Amino acid sequence: MYSTSSVGSFHTVLQDYKLEGMMMRYSRFVPRLYNFCLSLGMEPGKIMPSRAFCSDESQGFPIILIAKQFGTFPFNHGVVGGGVATDRHGPHASHGKDLVIIQASHVGYDPETQQFGIYRRNQTADCHQGSNCGKLTEVMGWYREEYDFACDNIFLEPAQQSGHQISINNLLLQSDRNEGLMLALDQLIAHDANDNPMLIRAFSTARRYQATPTLVKRIGDRWPTNERRPLGRMLTADLFTFRRQRIGEAEGRSHLEQNLINPMPWILTDPAPALAAAQINTQVEFDRTYRTLKKEQGYQRRNLLFIAGLNIDISPREEQIFPLTKFIPWAAYVQTADGAHRVLEQQELYQALMACDSENPHKVDLEVAISVMEKTKEVSISFDFRHPR
């Protein structure tokens, strides 16, 4: 079980990932990224980009822009949800002279409702809106159910002369459970001089206790006076943690869950949970991945840039083919062929990108490139292995 103090640090981490004033359209971000690569000594035509994006179709437009600006289709470093498949470092290293990895978790955004986490699917029969990122939403589902149960089954009893009392469902009092939402009971239940919980009454499915002065002060004038009421969303992130039995696959189906379980209380209680989850996943993936890059033999003494950030998929109108995707950088790891390396934090990275030109003279005209391939003389493929020409 994680302590509330360890989880609390994630509140600061979310605050440190600035969103306002850091956003750029992908059509401006990718050429700036390419020119930034050139400033690091990378050679035009010899750069192999790689993307670690979710498999969602909303990530297709950024991939097209990467191909256009770098002149080659990017290597695939991603697993569902925007994780990085670190076992693909070696193959990626062998595919180019200079190397770039772009990692981005993603989140949908509906400009009409200003809501994060949803995205219009124009290819569906009714162009309905669905979750985005769906994998992050799926991972959060179990935790949200546990949190909703706790919100609905912890009651503030009407204030009396004898003090303020709180009733808690028996399930939530079982601290030896293998999984579930674990309350920080010492912050909810008052104790006597002998450090025993101040039990008022035992019911068939719950127990009533004297509330802590800290909780009483926190609730303030929201404490009911006439009838009991659920604690609801006043169950804040510092009052609980989660315990979960998971399959311990490093980069398998539990990978996202492993990234998010510790900060999950802060994610669920955030005004925009889907956005918070994508931010946290980006931060964890950068920290985890950059350490593996330094150990990969194929990357040694090579020009390498690893950049992580957040893709915001602005839900397209029905007449639009692609979304208006925006990028918010988080951090970058820069390594040069002479062995030097450094990490760029968010503000420094943003300034470095903005200092680069948003026009790329080496960009590829995809329509022309496709036309050339269509008009190229047919190549005959022989399957007569016994008599090669």
**Dist. CA 332–CA 321, nearest whole Å:** 31
Least confident of 15-29, 102-116, 120-134, 355-369: 120-134
- pLDDT band of residue 286 (cuts 50, 70, 90) is very high
Q: Which residue has the higher pLDDT, 196 or 374?
A: 196
Tokens 């893709």 correspond to 311
Question: How much is the pLDDT for 319?
Answer: 74
128 has pLDDT over 70: no
3-state SS of the chain?
CCCHHHHHHHHHHHHHCCCCCCCEEHHHHHHHHHHHHHHCCCCCCCEEEEEECCCCHHHHHHHHHHHHHHCCCCEECEECCCEECHHHHHHHHCCCCEEEEEEEEEEEEECCCCEECEEECCCCCCCCEEECCHHHHHHHHHHHHHHHHHHHCEEECCCECCECEEEEEHHHHCCCCCCEEEECHHHCECECCCCCECEEEECCCEEEEEECHHHHHHHHHHCCCCCCEECHHHCCHHHEEEECCCCCCCCCCCHHHHHHCCCHHHHHCCCCHHHHHHHHHHHHHHHHHHHHHHHCHHHCCCCEEEEEEEEEEECCCCCCCCCEEEEEEEEEEEECCCCCEEEECHHHHHHHHHCCCCCCCCCCCHHHHHHHHHHCCCCCCCCCCCCCC
**Cβ atoms within 10 Å of 53's Cβ, excluding its own:** 26
Q: Which residue has the higher pLDDT, 271 or 246?
A: 271
* Nearest one of 136, 150, 141, 139 to 241, comparing CA atoms: 150
Question: How much is the pLDDT for 378?
Answer: 86
**Dist. CA 316–CA 65, nearest whole Å:** 17
Tokens of 118: 């949803």
**Dist. CA 52–CA 104, nearest whole Å:** 6
Beta-ladder partners of 24: 327
pTM for this structure? 0.87
**Dist. CA 368–CA 143, nearest whole Å:** 50
- Burial of 299 by CB count in 10 Å (0-12 exposed, 13-18 middle, 19+ buried)? buried
Q: Which strand (E) or helix (H) includes residue 29?
A: helix 26-39
Q: For residues 6-29, give the mean pLDDT.
A: 78
* Nearest one of 314, 284, 282 to 117, comparing CA atoms: 314
250 has pLDDT over 70: no
**Dist. CA 365–CA 371, nearest whole Å:** 10
Q: What is the DSSP string of 251-307?
A: SSTTHHHHHHTTTHHHHHTSSSHHHHHHHHHHHHHHHHHHHHHHH-GGGTTS-EEEE
Pairing mode of beta strands 229-230, 206-210: unpaired
Q: Which strand (E) or helix (H) includes residue 372?
A: helix 366-375
Beta-ladder partners of 102: 51, 307
What's the whole-number average pLDDT of the chain?
Answer: 88
The answer to whether the beta carbons of residues 203 and 157 sit under 8 Å apart is no
Tokens of 38: 């050139």
306-346 residue pLDDT tens: 999 999 988 777 777 777 899 999 999 999 999 899 999 99
237 has pLDDT over 80: yes
55-114 residue pLDDT tens: 888 888 899 999 999 999 999 998 888 889 999 999 999 999 999 999 999 898 888 888
